[in-house]
Structures are given as C-alpha cells and as structure tokens.
Structure 1
Amino acid sequence: MTVAHPDPGAPGTDAGVLIPVVVHFDDLDPMGLLHNGRYQVLVERAWGAFWRGRGVGGSTGLEGDGFNVAKSFDITYDLPVSGVGDYAVRLWMERMGATSATAGYRVCSADGKTTHAHGGRTVVRLDRATLTPTPWSERTREIARTIGLPREGV
C-alpha cells in the first residue's frame, strides 16, 4: 500500500532541505538506469549527511539520537534516473512522536526541479543497551523543526 505524503518539498517550494547526492556507474542497472534499490540508498545517505552535518550521531553516526532503525520506507517511482552524475534528495519532517519520526523525501535533479521518486520513511530511536524505543532529545526536535515541523504538536 502506498501512503500519500504531503509534499512541502515540491518543485517551486523551499520547504525542507535539498541534500546533494551522486549517482555512480555501479548504481545503474544493465539498462543504464538507477537500480530501483539504489533510490533508498540515496535517501538514507542524504538523511545521514543531514544529521551528521548538524552534529547528531557523534563520530560514528550511531551515538545518541543517531541510533535509530527504519520502521517503514515507501517509494513511488516517477521518472527514471538515466545516468551518472549529480542529483539531490529533498527532505522534510512530517511528524515527530515521542520515539519515532516520519519524514518525506523526493529524489530529484540537482536543482530540485525534476522529481524522480518520492515517498516517506519512519524511524524509531532505540536505546543502545536495551534496543527498546527511547525518546528523542530536545536538540534533535529543534533541528527537525527547521525542516518542516510546526512548533506546536511536536
């Protein structure tokens, strides 16, 4: 089942954040198109770069709020990526609960004008010792607010 995600990151808007990504030759399938499984890799790399760039996750990327796991990932393919080069992923937060966060994304051209795929992803923050859900820090909540979350209800 595909979930419809609001798209404050739609072309022509400046909501969320645009993170550069690179498609390499070994990301392509035998037809010269980005392999369907590589879209998710680009999204995950963009999220990692976003959070690490703001100091979340520590030196390993897995410390504190950086220790989280995917609960769901959905994608709709809109237009094939047909070659190597510079692209981008637009990211925005849709919801941040006590221990989970849901975000939207678009895999797009480097300038953000052409959408190749879009969808959403939900992660759950875990306690590193017990592997049970644990609340997000206030610092991470503040960072999330910068890319789409309203002040109230977060």
Structure 2
Amino acid sequence: MTTRAPSVPAVEYGVLVPVVVHFDDLDALGLLHNARYPLMVERAWVTHWQERGFSFEGDWAAAGDACNAVRELRIGYELPVNRTGQYAVHLWLDRLGRTGLTYGFRFCSPDGAVTYAQGARVLVRLDPGTLRPAPWSEAFRDAGRGLLRPQD
C-alpha cells in the first residue's frame, strides 16, 4: 500500500493526492467543469513528481523525464461534483514502457471511497532536440515502478 501523507487514506495501489475544487472551477450550473478534471489530474501528477525530484523549470534541454507529451486521453464522468472543497485524485501506472507510459486516474472523494470520474492517459517521453520518443531515465523508471497497478 502507498499513501501520500499520514492524513491521506491508504489505497491498494498508486497514490491518493489531495486536490481542492474552487468556485471558479465550477460551470454555470454549479458543477465542476468537464475540462477541469484533466487539469486537476495533471496538477496532482505534477505535485507527485516534483516531490520526487522530477520537474520542468522552463528549459526543455534540462527537462529530462518532464519533457513528455500526451498521446491519448480518455475520461469517463461517473457522478457530478457540485461543491467546492477537498477532493482527491487517485493515480497509478498501468504500463511503464521504454519511452511511454499509461497512467490511470480517479477523481474521487478525499477518502477515495466515491469516484466522480476516471480515465487513463498515455504519455511519451521526448528528446528535447528532435521531439522524437526517448527512453525514460532509470531514476524515473525506479520511481514509477512503485506506482504500477497489480495485474489481475
């Protein structure tokens, strides 16, 4: 089991990252806007990786594993989020390849019990000079292995 902090409930695999929904994240109906879900997931991943020393500071040449691009995004909306406040994003890796990875996510209640949306995203690590696929570093792969979801 992996957790983010003592105050964050344990999950069977991956990590649970706290996020906050603000008033300006809501649409005209008072629901979390559909475009905000992927943004919240991205912010959760950035927080997770920055805490492990992987970040983008504006220099592509020095970005290392943070130099990557989205190849595919799939999301399904299960329940509407109709309030501001504390929520969480459950993150994990489904696949960690040589140059790409697939991660899964759930936008959920702070304790992880209620799922509002879930999906997957495929990332490709890029060479900053050519923008062609490049291998993940061993340090990144080591950090990522702990996020792999057990296979059924």
Q: Give yes or no for TM over 0.5.
A: yes
CA distance in 1, matches of 2:144, 2:133: 18
Counterpart in the other structure of 1:103: 103
Instruction: Give 1:3's aligned residue.
Output: none
- Does the Cα contact within 8 Å between 2:71 and 2:124 map onto a contact in 1? yes
Task: For 1:4-153, list aligned pairs within 5 A.
Answer: 13-57=11-55, 59-60=57-58, 63-148=63-148
Residue in structure 1 matched with residue 6 of structure 2 by the alignment: none
* Cα deviation 1:39-75 (Å, max 9, x = unaligned): 0101111111111110012545961001101101100
**Which letter maps to 1:54?**
R
Q: Answer whether contact 2:56 2:67 (CA < 8 A) is retained.
A: no
Give the distance between the partners of 1:110 and 1:118, measured in 2 at CA.
15
Unaligned runs of 5+ in 1: 1-10
Tell me, yes or no, if the aligned pair for 1:12 and 1:113 is still in contact at 8 Å.
Answer: no
2:115 partner amino acid: T
> Hey, which bits of structure 1, 4+ residues long, moved more than 6 A?
none
**Conserved in 2, the CA contact under 8 Å of 1:65 and 1:137?**
yes
> Which has the higher mean CA deviation after the structures are superposed, 11-20 or 137-146?
11-20
CA distance, structure 1, for counterparts of residue 16 and residue 59 of structure 2: 20
- Give CA-to-partner distance per residue, 1:88-138, whole Å, 9 cap, x none: 100000101111100110000111111000010010011111111100001
CA root-mean-square deviation: 1.9
Q: Which amino acid aligns with 1:137?
A: S
Instruction: Give the counterpart letter for 1:126 in structure 2.
Output: L
**So what's the TM-score if we normalise by structure 2?**
0.86
Query: Aligned partner of 2:142: which letter?
Result: E
What is the match of residue 3 of structure 2? none
Kept in 2: contact 1:52–1:61 (CA 8 A): no
Structure 2, unmatched stretches of 5+, are 1-8
